[in-house]
Structure 1
């Protein structure tokens, strides 16, 4: 594990393995260790890069609302800082699926393959605007003042992720920190705006000719499977369902996820 400074913030990064570069970006409020089950399966074949976005994991908290272009550029800047400029397989989970697709559209020459893992899908997003961002900031301030993250943070993580394979020491270190909860609130408040930015980008910037895979976790929901299949058709992507698996596919079905990522560079 190491830290690299991007745009004035210290970003926590973990790099494992050797081979073609693969970047893993987790969903809202998650950390680098949430990829732990899948890394040993990828590292013998890939240079696996995990990183925490601002206010997530061990990365320093930012103050600016996240944007799609900003998150896409963050991945590019991270690879530059690590001296890994070549094309990469970019894997985005949940909300980070929006970021990964944005990266592919804005940096097509740097995209070897794209894998969207139970990605967020928004056909009619509602941008939150300054009022929602201010409310999120106020909520984060209130949580900090009350001392709730330190008192309840790890317990809330355990309630949300059951069973939780993450190392208990890392869970305590991360989820007792107020900045992590503020970071999640800030990113959630910007979700609608980021999704709207992606819809606009789809009209303006085509995807590269790189292989694309949508790996969904329908978990018995026909509606969610339909939305994921529609996403795959719209992107011209391969579709696969990770079954059985909940939303945290990297923990519930690491073997399936690793196989999909390793096969991503193969032609459709």
Structure 2
């Protein structure tokens, strides 16, 4: 564990060096282990309601990928293999060797599925929370150049104080648009601390530019390694009847079918399903 002044971290948090990156993590509770991993732009506190309901019966692990929350920026552009390895190193650093339930929201669904395929003995189940779907996944050209462009854009924005001025309002806007409640439950002080620095913007730009690459990497992994763990797909349904909403739900149904999993519609809920309907995530985890 990386030493840090206690005043610098919220109670219960710790810093771990994973793959050379200082990573913020929380491990609380007792009993069977579950890992909660958020999508692009999310921080550990987006799981507060889910974690709070699980803690009486589960060991709950939350963490921030490089650049998000209280984690340091990563030196390399993200890849699927690196994110699956980050999960393994996280569990090892916490001394959690037994099978765990892996919960992945949105993009993190790629990561937890990859971990489950690479480490079946350490996976009890996979819960995908409105997981990303890319039926036409493909690797894009010039990944190194795209990563440099993302870092450059983030640096320019930071030089103009864009994250400092617009980071917290931008976060609140995203939550408003991606939930049916339309309200961000995160403590304002934590939002300012995590979204004003420019780290989150840099991380989001890097993950976005590597998104299709990771989808293609997962497609290749699916062809090579089976998924033996049970899967639950929680699909957010906000009650909309638009063509876009129909496509999203159809994508979740295809994902569940491809993985041999169980599909559950969670309504009413936006893409940030764990904020709208935390009980649906809790119930899925407690099945295993």
Question: Normalization by structure 1: what TM-score?
Answer: 0.96
RMSD across aligned positions (CA): 1.0
1:11-42 CA distance string (max 9 Å, x none): 10011211100000000011000001111111
More divergent stretch after superposition (131-140 vs 234-243): 131-140
- Of the three residues 34, 51, 56, the one matched with 2:63 is 51
Aligned to 2:231: 212
Counterpart-to-counterpart distance in 1, 2:161 and 2:222:
42
Aligned to 2:219: 199
More divergent stretch after superposition (225-234 vs 126-135): 126-135
1:150-201 CA distance string (max 9 Å, x none): 1211111111112100011100000001111111111111101100000000
Counterpart-to-counterpart distance in 1, 2:113 and 2:278:
22
Counterpart-to-counterpart distance in 2, 1:15 and 1:131:
37
Shift of 1:218: 3.0
Q: In the TM superposition, what are the counterparts of 1:8-157 in structure 2 within 5 Å?
A: 8-128=20-140, 129-157=143-171
Q: Give the gaps of 5 or more residues in structure 1.
A: none
Q: Give the gaps of 5 or more residues in structure 2.
A: 1-12, 177-182
State yes or no: 1:187 paired with 2:203. no
Aligned to 1:226: 250
- Of the three residues 175, 180, 185, the one matched with 2:195 is 175
Shift of 1:224: 1.2
Verify the 8 A CA contact 2:21 2:75 in the aligned structure 1.
no
Aligned to 1:245: 269
Shift of 1:130: 2.8
Shift of 1:58: 0.5
